[in-house]
Chains A and B, each alone.
Chain A
Amino acid sequence: MPLSPAITDLELLKGHPPLARLLAWDSAAVEAAKFDRDELTIVVEHGALREACAILRDDPELQFNFFADVTCVDWYPSEPRFEVVYHLLSIPRHQRVRLKVRLAGSDPQIESLTSLWPSANFFEREVYDLFGVRFSGHPNLRRIMMPEDWEGHPLRKDYPVEGYR
C-alpha cells in the first residue's frame, strides 16, 4: 500500500461523519483536520474540547463511547509547543477518531475529560507527570509514574534522555 498524500482540506473531508458533525455544531471549534494513513485527525480549539467530546460520545450516529488513550507530543522549541492527542473508539461502529488540542508552552492547561469518561483519570495523570500539562477539573492530579518529589517532566524534549546529572 503505497502512501497517498495527506488530505487537509476541510471541504474534501466533509464526508467523514465525526468532522461533519463537529463542523455543523460549531465551525469555529475546528481548527484543522487531516486524513492520513486511513486515520482521521481533528484539531479542536482548546476551549471546545470537552463539549466536542461530549457530542462525539452522545451522538447516536457516531457513538464514540470509548476513551482509548490520551497522550502528548512536545514540539519544542516551536509554538504552540504541546499537542495533546486523544484517541476515541466507537465500540458499536468499530471506528476511531483522533482529536488534538494545541497548547502554548507557558502554563499549558486543558479541561479534564474525567467527567465524561472516568477512564481518563490515570491517562491524564500520566500526561501531567511526564509533560507538565495541567488538567483542570481533574479529581486527583498528582504524579503517577515518577516519585512525588521529582523535579521536571521527563518526556519534554528539553529534558535530557539520561536525566539531569
Chain B
Amino acid sequence: MPQMFTPTPTLEAAGPNTMTLNMGPQHPSTHGVLRLLLEIDGETIIRLMPDIGYLHTGIEKTCEAKFYQQVVPLTDRIDYLCPLTNNLCYVLAVERLLGLEIPPRAQWLRVMLNELSRINSHLVWLGSHALDIGAMSVFLYCFREREDVLRIFEMVSGQRMMTSYFRIGGLALEPPLGMFDAVRKFITRFPSRIDEYENLLTSNPIWLRRTKGVALLSVEDAVALGATGPTLRASGVDLDLRRDMPYSSYEKFEFNVPVSSDGDVFARYIVRVQEMRESNEIVRQALEGVPEGPIKADAPKIVLPEREKMKTQMEALIYHFKIVTEGFPVPAGEVYQAVESPRGEMGYYVVSDGSPKPYRVHMRAPSFANLQTLNTMCAGRLIADVVAAIGSIDIILGDVDR
C-alpha cells in the first residue's frame, strides 16, 4: 500500500509529565513558514525543535544551470528583506574570482544602498516584532518609513523588493535624477523617526516586562551555536564584518558598532535600533562623499556595453551578443565572500571550473545558523516567550530554506 502521508519529524515526549505541541508552520508569529515542535511541562518549555524546509526552492541547484550574470536575480529571492545585500555578496564573490576592480563611485553607491536595505530590513523586523509582542502601532510607524526606502529602491532599479540592481562589475544603471535628493530627505528625517519608535517602546513598562531577561543567550552559547550579527553582538561579542574584515570600501566610513552584554530580547532590540542610527550615518557619509566617475568596471568582455555604444559600435555589439548568449568564462578557483547582512554573516561560496556557469554556489545563510540558538534561548521559559525569542533573532524563512 502506498504511503499516504509524508512522514514529518516528530518529537517524542521524554517524561511522563510532558506533552508535545506543534507550533506552525502557519502560526502568525513565525514570520513565514517555520514549524516548531515544543515539548512542554504545563506552560514551561522543556525543549524545542525547529522543522524547516517548507520554502526550500533549490536555489543552489538552479544557480549551477545559469550563467554567472543570470544568478543575480536568484539571489534576491533568498533574503527578501535585504535583496541588495544578497546581490552585493554574490557580485563581490564573482568579482574576486575574476580579479575585477570596481570604480569608487559604484562602491560608494553600493554601500549607500546596502545601508538603506539594512534600515529597510530592521524596520520590518521592528514592526513585526513589536506586533508579535502586542505593540500594534509601532508596525504602522515603521512601515511609513519603509515606504520611503522602497521608493528609493524603485527609483534606482524599477523594483521595490526584487531589486537586482548590482551587476558583476558595477551597477546596472546610473541612479536617476532626484534619487540623491530623496535619500537626503530621508536621512535628515529618519533620526527623529527612530526617536518616535523609541518613545513608544524603550521605556514602555509592558515592552520591558516582555523583553528584559527573556530568551537569554550567553557569549559562549552564542559563539558555539553559530549566531552572528545583532544576535551575537547583543550577547557581547564585538564582531562586525563591515569594520573588521571590510569589503566594498567600508574601511573609508566611520561608524560605531553597537554591542550589549545582556544577551536578552531587549539587548537585541537596542542593538538593532542603534544600528539603524549608525546606518543612517553611513548613508549620510556615502551621500556627501560619493565620487564622480564611471559606475561600471572597464572590462568589455564582462560588463554589458552602454545602449548607445551597442547601437553604434561593432565591437560593443559583438561583446553584448557574446555576453548575453554565451556568458563569460571565469578563471577556475573558489572564493568565500562574507558580508554583514542585517541578520549576520552572509557568505557566498562560489566555485568556478573555468566555464561561464558557476560550478557550485553555496549560501551561508545567517538566519539558518541563528535559528539554532532558539532551543537554548527558550528552554525553561514560557510558551509566550517563544514568540518574543523568534522575533528577536529576526529570521527570514527564505534565507533559512533557500
A positions within 8 Å CB-CB of B: 1-3, 6, 36-37, 39, 41, 65-69, 71, 73-74, 85, 87, 89, 91, 94, 96, 98, 117-119, 121-123, 126, 130, 142-149, 154-155, 159, 161
Contacts and interface: CB of A to CB of B under 8 A. Distances in A.
Contact of B336 (A74, A87, A121): A87
Q: Which of A65, A71, A91, A149 has the most CB of B within 10 A?
A: A71
Interface in B60-110: 60-62, 64-65, 96-99, 101
A117 B336 contact: no
Given A94-B245, A122-B369, A148-B8, 10 more contacts: A2-B99, A66-B226, A68-B338, A69-B347, A85-B349, A119-B372, A122-B371, A126-B368, A155-B60, A161-B62
13 contacts: A6-B333, A36-B333, A39-B336, A69-B347, A96-B336, A98-B336, A118-B225, A118-B226, A121-B372, A145-B56, A145-B402, A148-B8, A154-B61
B173 interface: no
Interface in B9-65: 9, 52-53, 56, 58, 60-62, 64-65
A66 B229 CA distance: 13
Interface string B324-345: 0000000101111010000001
Given A37-B335, A154-B58, A148 B225 contact: no
Given A87-B347, A145-B52, A149-B7, A71 B372 contact: no
Contacts of A3: 98-99, 331
A144 B372 CA distance: 13
A118 B401 CA distance: 19
Give the size range of B's interface with the partner: 35 or more
Contacts of B362: 69, 71
Given A67-B226, A68-B364, A87 B349 contact: yes
Contact of A144 (B53, B223, B349, B369): B53
Given A68-B345, A119-B224, A148 B9 contact: yes
Contacts of B53: 143-147
Contacts of A73: 351, 359-360
Q: Is the interface of B mostly helix, strand, loop or mixed?
A: mixed
Contact of A118 (B101, B331, B335, B372): B372
A51 B366 CA distance: 27
Given A121-B372, A144-B53, A161-B64, A39 B335 contact: yes
Given A1-B101, A148-B8, A117 B345 contact: no
A3 B98 CA distance: 7
B3 interface: yes
Nearest to B245: A94
Nearest to B49: A140
Given A94-B244, A145-B401, A87 B364 contact: yes
B65 A161 contact: yes
Contacts of B359: 73
Contacts of B369: 119, 122-123
